[in-house]
Amino acid sequence: MTGTGQAKPKERPGFPIRLAPASPPGRPKAVLGLPVRMSPSRLMPQGLGLDSRAVLHNMVAKLKQQGISDALVLAAMGNVERHRFVDSALGNQAYEDTSLPIGLGQTISKPGVVSRMLELLHQGCSGRLGRVLEIGTGCGYQAAVLSQLCTEVYSIERLRGLHDKARENLRHLRLANVHLLFGDGRAGYAKGAPYAGIISAAGGESVPQEWLDQLAVGARLVAPVAGASGSSGQALVVIEKTPQGLQRTVMEAVHFVPLKSGVA
């Protein structure tokens, strides 16, 4: 893979992510069991005047209303504080069902889309998924959610600035099962193959052959693909690798950033 670093477990164990316990406003609180000496903006969505746990709970309730029913996916979404992954100026929008800029022209996907894709990825699996490959780390939010849903996450990003940002965002969560890689994810990451799931947060014209090759038999791939539904726009595509071959299903229309080549 072009310009790819080694898979490096960056964080110390500490799984799962523990949320700050609800506490009266103004009182110091503990996050991850440690005394907190961070600015309030890192703990609470700004401008809401609410405990982040309450708004997170609310976000998960809305996902349920939208039709997300996979209990593990909902629990994973409810375990990751999304405001930690966006600029503090955007903190008050972090729990809305909206995509937000994360720098370098890229965006963090809407919680509704993240949970939908994770539900499709996890379908047919009763417990945790095994090793999963994510293409497009971005700010690291989806990788953190995935860390709750699978045993190992390999996440690749082609933009150095975002790869570094994700590492910074994830550092304090100490997720021992998340491995951040820098490189062109179109080649997948052969060293971690075969994968129990592959998920892409960027949409290409087609699904790279390498992803299909690196998928385990019985595993699924979920990715936005341009032109998949016949129109010029993108649609979510689910590909299942069965012993008989690949089964491809085209789902709803989506709008993701493009899958690009090379690194920058």
Q: Which of residues 241-260 bind ligand SAH (CB under 6 A)?
A: 257, 259-260
169 binds ligand SAH (CB under 6 A): no
Taking the least distance from each CB to ligand SAH, the nearer of 23 and 255 is: 255
Taking the least distance from each CB to ligand SAH, the nearer of 131 and 182 is: 182
CB of 90 to ligand SAH, least distance (A): 13
Choice from 60, 113, 159, 196 touching ligand SAH (CB under 6 A): 159
229 assigned to active site: no
List the one residue out of 170, 130, 181 whose CA is nearest residue 12. 170
Alpha carbon 193 to its chain centroid, in Å, reads 19
136 binds ligand SAH (CB under 6 A): yes
133 binds ligand SAH (CB under 6 A): no
Could you say which of 52, 99, 109, 200 is catalytic?
Answer: 109
197 binds ligand SAH (CB under 6 A): no
Choice from 202, 223, 237, 254 touching ligand SAH (CB under 6 A): 202
Choice from 84, 186, 220, 241 touching ligand SAH (CB under 6 A): 186
Tell me if the bond preceding 194 is cis, omega within 30° of 0: yes
Taking the least distance from each CB to ligand SAH, the nearer of 51 and 134 is: 134
84 binds ligand SAH (CB under 6 A): no
- Maximum Cα interatomic distance, the chain, rounded to a whole number of Å: 59
Amino acid at 152: E
* Sheet bearing 178-182, strands edge to edge: 8-9, 178-182, 150-157, 129-135, 195-200, 215-226, 234-242, 245-254
Choice from 93, 107, 148, 169 touching ligand SAH (CB under 6 A): 107
List alpha helices for the chain, DSSP H. Answer: 52-65, 71-77, 111-122, 141-147, 160-171, 209-213
Q: Which residues contact 134 (CB under 8 A, 6 or more apart)?
A: 142, 143, 146, 153, 154, 155, 156, 198, 199, 200, 201
184 binds ligand SAH (CB under 6 A): yes
1 binds ligand SAH (CB under 6 A): no
Alpha carbon 104 to its chain centroid, in Å, reads 18
Cross-strand pairs, 132: 153, 197
Taking the least distance from each CB to ligand SAH, the nearer of 53 and 110 is: 110
The CA distance from 181 to 163, in Å, is: 7
55 binds ligand SAH (CB under 6 A): no
Using the contact rule CB under 6 A, the part of the chain among 38-46, 52-60, 155-163, 221-229 near ligand SAH is 155-163
The CA distance from 20 to 108, in Å, is: 23
| C-alpha dihedral sign at 16, 139, 111, 228 | negative
Residues engaged in binding ligand SAH (CB under 6 A): 102, 106-109, 135-136, 138-139, 141-142, 156-159, 162, 184-186, 201-202, 257, 259-260
What residues are labeled active site? 109
